[in-house]
């Protein structure tokens, strides 16, 4: 699953700030992001790798956008179930099982689970993060609260240059 780049940047910036590490101002973090310098490598290369894999091996790689999932969650849950080989039966649809799963996996429900509030993620001996840091807002369009018009235009330009020729499009107005 990928996320619209402006929202991804805003969310990532908040996450890294919450780690209590050396604080990088928004403008510097933005420059690093646009230059492709991040702990996970260039955002655009990362997303394109998964996008292309989903086109080359559609039975093995499912590519979803966070924004699409938020806008039509039940449809994406059905798509995921079908992709995994476990489509919902007519009876399950009738019984509201899709909506039950949507409710159970909602951002608010997951954020309020005890493990999310009190547990930790420990990738290495030195790297331990409180699970609650993984849940901030989960909203679409929060970048508008952080990015200037020039920042928005720059990310949109890079996104168009990198993704359009491959057929990957984002609704850059949100």
126-164 tens-digit pLDDT: 777 777 777 778 889 999 999 999 999 999 999 999 999
Per-residue confidence (pLDDT) for residue 60, from 0 to 100: 98
Instruction: Output 113 or 79, whichever has higher pLDDT.
Output: 79
- Asked if pLDDT for residue 173 goes beyond 70, the answer is no
Question: What is residue 128's predicted lDDT score, i.e. its pLDDT?
Answer: 74
pLDDT tens per residue across span 23-49: 789 999 999 999 999 877 899 999 999
**What are the structural domains of the chain?**
5-85+137-166 (3.40.50.300)
Could you give phi then psi for residue 23, rounded to 5 degrees?
Answer: -80, 130
Q: Is 65 strand, coil or helix?
A: strand
77-111 tens-digit pLDDT = 999 999 999 999 999 999 999 999 999 999 899 88
pLDDT of residue 172: 66
Q: Are 40 and 103 in contact (CB under 8 A)?
A: no
Q: d(Cα 60, Cα 54) in Å, to the nearest integer?
A: 7
pLDDT on residue 107: 86
| Integer Rg of the chain from CA | 18
**For 35, what's the count of Cα atoms within 13 Å in the CB-facing half-sphere?**
8
Q: Would the pLDDT of 174 be above 60? A: no
Q: For CA atoms 34, 36, 38, 44, give the dihedral sign.
A: positive
Distance of CA 68 to the CA centre of its chain: 11
What ranges make up the beta strands (E) of 11-164? 120-122, 128-130
Residue 131 has what DSSP assignment? G
Output the pLDDT for position 123: 78
Average pLDDT of the segment spanning 15-22: 75
Burial class (CB in 10 A: 0-12, 13-18, 19+), 102: middle
User: Quick one: average pLDDT of 105-121?
Assistant: 87
């Amino acid at each position: 699953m990928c996320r619209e780049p402006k929202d991804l940047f805003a969310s990532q910036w908040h996450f890294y700030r919450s780690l209590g590490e050396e604080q990088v101002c928004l403008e510097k973090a933005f420059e690093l992001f646009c230059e492709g310098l991040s702990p996970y490598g260039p955002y655009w290369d990362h997303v394109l790798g998964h996008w292309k894999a989903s086109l080359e091996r559609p039975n093995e790689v499912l590519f979803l956008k966070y924004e699409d999932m938020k806008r039509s969650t039940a449809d994406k849950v059905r798509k995921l179930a079908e992709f995994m080989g476990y489509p919902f039966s007519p009876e399950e649809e009738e019984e509201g099982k899709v909506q039950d799963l949507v409710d159970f996996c909602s951002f608010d429900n997951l954020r309020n689970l005890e493990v999310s509030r009190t547990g930790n993620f420990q990738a290495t001996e030195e790297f331990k993060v409180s699970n609650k840091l993984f849940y901030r807002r989960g909203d679409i369009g929060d970048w508008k609260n952080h990015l200037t018009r020039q920042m928005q235009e720059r990310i949109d330009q890079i996104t168009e240059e990198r993704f359009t020729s491959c057929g990957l499009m984002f609704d850059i107005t949100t």
